[in-house]
Amino acid sequence: MNHDDFATEPVRGLPERPPQDETILWQGRPQTWPLVKQALSFWWVMGYFAFLALWRLVAAIDIMPMGQAIGISVPFVILGAVVAALLILTAWVQARSTVYTITNKRVAMRIGAALTVTLNLPYTQIGSADLDLRGDGTGTIALTTEGDTQFAYIVLWPHVRPWRFPARPALRCIPDAERVARLLADAAEKRVTMPQIAPVTGSVAAE
C-alpha cells in the first residue's frame, strides 16, 4: 500500500498554509545522482575500494596463480558494489524527503529523512547566497544567515555547504540552479528594500 508521510501538510513542503500576501515562486528538491557524487563523495569511495582490490591483486599475483589472485580480490569489488548501492539509496531517500521552497518572503527547507524539520529563513535574516554551479546545470545555493541563529551541521547534512563552520544551510544539487539563484536574488532584493511599517503604540499628542 502506498503511503505519503507528508499527506498532512497543508501545502507541499510547508508546515502551515502561507499568509495571503505570500506567494510561492519556486519549489524543488535535490537530484539524486548529483547528490550522490557531491554530498556523499561517491567517486572517492569507489576509488578507495578499487585501490584495495588492485592492491590485493598485486600483492597476491606473485605468490599464487592469476585465477586465485583475482578470486581473493573479488570480495573487495563486491563490498564496493554494496557500498555504492547504499550511497545511492541514501541519496534517493534524502532527495525524496526534501522540498525547497522560495517565496516572495522567505526560503523554506523541509529536510530530513528520519527526523523531518522545516527551516524558515526570512530574507531579512539572509546575509548572502553563494552559487556553486556545475557543468550539467545543477548547483548548490548556500545561504549565510545573520543574527544569533546557529545551525547544527549534523542536523542540516547533507543540506549544508560542505566543511564550512558555522554551518550554512544550502539548497543542494538542484536543477537549473542559475535560474533559481536569480529568482531568489530578485525576491530577496524586493523584500529587503520594501519599507517596513510598524504599528505605533501609545497616544500621539495633538498640536
Decide which of 117 and 82 is more confident.
82
Q: At what angle do helices 42-61 and 66-96 cross, to 10 degrees?
A: 170
60 within domain boundaries: yes
- In the predicted structure, residue 203 carries a pLDDT above the cut 60: no
Tell me, what's the pLDDT at 9?
73
* Spatial distance between the Cα atoms of 168 and 154, rounded to a whole number of angstroms: 11
C-alpha cell at 75: 570480495
Last residue of a domain, one of 94, 115, 131: 94
Q: 139 and 126, same structural domain?
A: yes
Please check whether residue 106 is in contact with residue 125, taking contact to mean a CB–CB distance below 8 angstroms: no
Last residue of a domain, one of 75, 94, 113: 94
pLDDT (tens digit per residue) in 76-107: 999 999 999 999 999 999 999 999 999 999 99
Tell me, what's the pLDDT at 88?
97
Q: 150 and 184, same structural domain?
A: yes
Q: Residue 65 — φ and ψ, nearest 5°? A: -60, 155
203 within domain boundaries: no
Q: Could you list the residue range(s) of the whole structural domain that residue 58 is in?
A: 35-94
Decide which of 203 and 152 is more confident.
152
Please check whether residue 117 is in contact with residue 144, taking contact to mean a CB–CB distance below 8 angstroms: no
Q: 105 and 43, same structural domain?
A: no
Tell me, what's the pLDDT at 7?
55
Last residue of a domain, one of 69, 94, 119: 94
17 within domain boundaries: no
Q: 90 and 106, same structural domain?
A: no
Q: 68 and 154, same structural domain?
A: no
Tell me, what's the pLDDT at 63?
79
3-state DSSP call for residue 160?
strand
The per-residue pLDDT of the chain, averaged, comes to 86
pLDDT band with cut points at 50, 70 and 90 for residue 139: very high
Peptide bond before residue 158 is cis, with ω within 30 degrees of 0 = yes
pLDDT (tens digit per residue) in 45-84: 999 999 999 998 888 877 778 777 788 888 999 999 999 9
pLDDT (tens digit per residue) in 15-26: 888 888 999 999
- In the predicted structure, residue 2 carries a pLDDT above the cut 60: no
Q: 122 and 81, same structural domain?
A: no
pLDDT (tens digit per residue) in 169-197: 999 999 999 999 999 999 998 887 765 55
Q: Count how many domains the chain has.
A: 2
